[in-house]
């Protein structure tokens, strides 16, 4: 078993205050040169120089990083990991000019995946989700927030959450489950919206919370999903039952959920492409972290990215995630998100990396456990092919394969 990583040319620790990073702190990535990590029982026992650490460990338990860059594993704080099938035909329709909303109105989009996911057995769904997970692992993602939301009925929503639990138990990646039954109105309730909302709030959420199948509850607040008032009913129920809150907000139009996230004290408000300046102040005051999802903007061929620079200037603890899903963001790569964040949202590589690691960890209640390489934290880290962390964003869509370690053990990817 490896007990020390030595000869790390550039160790990017992300060490810092025990809270999400804001403002100038986003640039402070804690670089140590010619460094080493001492590992013990799956955790980081010490961070020091190669000479110092090498003397503590037998030679056969030492791994030479050969002067390469080491960073924390990525923490993807917004994914729709669990689904059956794909929507490649709709991708082609979008290229021909159809909008996301037009496809959804014609019975495609989310409802298409709902049909396929309902039809899949639990084992079939587990196999497809494992495939998606493995894509992420190969890119260096070690912790994944995973949502339900392609069931929209009792049996399938629970099936999706069980798949997340099974995959989490199987390892090696750590999955954090989120209930997203308020994703869209299912076809059988299309003329009974209020009844569906009531069922989610009064029946499904209590059952899921009691069974311990989810840590968070999310809702899609948008013109083609749920209104602010409907979203409030769902999330207030989730809050009463001890679930943390996340909201898909203001993706296509301002006034769709960000202020509600602040009102309810949500952990995150996600998307925010159209958020207004005054709402940013509300989010900051309430301690809500914005989760920026440039992959969906890119994949939908849109040009309005979240105002990341305004968020940084407003003192918000920004987060970067993939929004991996079969429709609007079939993009499982966190390194590609870093490239988009830098090129399209004008974040620096340091800001983007901070948003994709320690800040993301805090949105999942795991800031004391993962997201940085500090004594006592879980040893989730990447040994990259390069020597400078900025190359992560600079080499766009490079087929680089980092060596991935989770809990101190190397993962075969």
Point out the annotated binding site for N-formimidoyl-L-glutamate.
150, 325, 327
From the annotation, which residues make up the binding site for 4-imidazolone-5-propanoate?
87, 150, 183, 251, 328
From the annotation, which residues make up the binding site for Fe(3+)?
78, 80, 248, 323
From the annotation, which residues make up the binding site for Zn(2+)?
78, 80, 248, 323
46 three-state secondary structure:
strand
Tokens 């399209």 locate to 344
* Closest listed residue to residue 217, CA positions, set 128, 145, 322: 145
Burial label, 66 (beta-carbon count in 10 A; 0-12, 13-18, 19+): exposed
User: Which residues are CB-neighbours of 134 under 8 A, at least 6 positions away?
Assistant: 413
From the annotation, which residues make up the binding site?
78, 80, 87, 150, 183, 248, 251, 323, 325, 327-328
User: Which residues are CB-neighbours of 103 under 8 A, at least 6 positions away?
Assistant: 90, 93, 94, 109
295 three-state secondary structure:
helix
Asked if 257 and 245 touch (Cβ cutoff 8 Å), the reply is: no
What are the Cα distances from residue 289, in Å, to 44, 86, 270?
Answer: 27, 30, 8
Residue 56's φ and ψ, nearest 5 degrees, are: -95, -10
SS3 content of the chain, % helix, strand, coil (to 5): 40, 20, 40
Asked if 319 and 290 touch (Cβ cutoff 8 Å), the reply is: yes
End-to-end CA distance of the chain: 18
């Amino acid at each position: 078993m490896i007990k020390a990583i030595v000869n790390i040319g550039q160790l990017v620790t992300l060490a810092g205050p025990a809270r999400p990073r804001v403002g100038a702190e986003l640039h402070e990535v804690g670089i140590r040169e010619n460094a080493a990590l001492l590992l013990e029982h799956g955790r980081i026992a010490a961070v020091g120089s190669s000479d110092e650490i090498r003397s503590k460990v037998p030679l056969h338990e030492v791994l030479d990083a050969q002067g390469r860059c080491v960073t924390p594993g990525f923490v993807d704080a917004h994914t729709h990991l669990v689904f059956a099938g794909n929507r490649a035909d709709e991708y082609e329709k979008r290229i021909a000019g159809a909008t996301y909303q037009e496809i959804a109105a014609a019975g495609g989009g989310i409802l298409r995946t709902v049909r396929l996911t309902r039809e899949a057995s639990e084992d079939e769904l587990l196999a497809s989700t494992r495939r998606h997970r493995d894509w992420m692992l190969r890119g260096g993602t070690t912790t994944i927030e995973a949502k339900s939301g392609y069931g929209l009925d009792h049996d399938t929503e629970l099936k999706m959450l069980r798949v997340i639990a099974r995959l989490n138990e199987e390892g090696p990646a750590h999955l954090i489950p989120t209930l997203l039954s308020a994703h869209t109105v299912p076809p059988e309730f299309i003329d009974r919206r209020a009844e569906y909302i009531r069922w989610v709030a009064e029946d499904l959420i209590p059952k899921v919370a009691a069974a311990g199948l989810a840590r968070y509850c999310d809702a899609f607040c948008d013109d083609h999903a749920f209104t602010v008032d409907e979203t409030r009913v769902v999330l207030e129920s989730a809050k009463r039952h001890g679930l943390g809150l996340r909201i898909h907000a203001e993706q296509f139009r301002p006034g769709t959920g960000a202020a509600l996230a602040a009102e309810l004290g949500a952990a995150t408000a996600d998307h925010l492409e159209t958020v207004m300046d005054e709402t940013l102040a509300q989010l900051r005051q309430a301690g809500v972290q914005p989760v920026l999802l440039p992959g969906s903007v890119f994949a939908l061929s849109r040009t309005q990215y979240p105002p990341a620079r305004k968020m940084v200037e407003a003192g918000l603890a920004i987060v970067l995630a993939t929004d991996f899903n079969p429709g609007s963001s079939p993009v499982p790569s966190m390194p590609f998100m870093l490239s988009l964040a830098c090129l399209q949202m004008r974040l620096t590589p340091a800001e983007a990396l901070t948003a994709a690691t320690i800040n993301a960890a805090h949105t999942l209640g795991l800031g004391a456990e993962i997201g940085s390489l500090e004594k006592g934290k879980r040893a989730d880290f990447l040994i990259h092919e390069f020597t400078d962390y900025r190359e992560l964003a600079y080499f766009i869509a490079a087929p680089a394969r980092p060596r991935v370690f989770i809990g101190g053990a190397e993962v075969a990817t």
